[in-house]
Structure 1
């Protein structure tokens, strides 16, 4: 199964997409590419909810985590330190493809959740700020996109995302 979160609001300064693909080994491959981002590094996370009715993506709730709650950390594979499942680190380069492997997860568990780009750099849970261990002190939510299933009948979408899947 495959899914996508598309950032299309030109007013946010963020344009791009994030694709999600199941692997035979029981993991999800996440690939993100942005054609527009504000300058600097920005926290990049999967959040629990897909409720975008509130301003500033506030209805998206906390960072997504499968299993017992843990502290905020870095992107997958960066270390063995505890981390939320949805902690993906930082993005900051347009045209760069960011790739992650989320073990013990299926795309169906991500459908309807939100991918969020934050205003500031994520400190990966290593900072001394009070919110470092919950949000990475990444600041306001500047752009959000709901994760939705990719339709195999939508040739425009599948052709565009095929190279990432």
Structure 2
């Protein structure tokens, strides 16, 4: 009913045969060196209440069939290399940002990165688009710094001139 293999330095892929353990209620494989993808066979764990795959090297997308797990109350996929859209529906609509943090490639609710249009079709984002947005923000920040420096320099310079003229220092 419960498998907790966390913090064991396991490496390799998550075996898809785990999906055959249909009475499993809790699966914790966190803090290992697991890589590969999340097996879609996990959707067969119909009574699964807790799934923790955090702090591994798991990549790819979150399988859409996992949204059919109606008893899933705890989900932690944080600090992996997951990408794509977070599945919608049932229990997945109840999980918070902390379930997905540390996965820069994930998009969709509850994260602030939009996953797609109203029709549910994901809108592709390319790294070039993201770099352009970041570059524009970087330019804005550097202009703010230049303007603040100029303003401070102007105030200090004018203050020095005023003090010099009012104390007759140049004479």
Pick the TM interval, shorter chain: under 0.3
The structure that has the greater radius of gyration is 2
TM-score between both structures, scaled by the size of structure 1: 0.21
More helix by share: 2
Task: Tell me: higher relative CO, structure 1 or 2? Use CA pairs within 8 A at least 6 residues apart.
Answer: 1
Normalised by the length of structure 2, the TM-score is 0.21
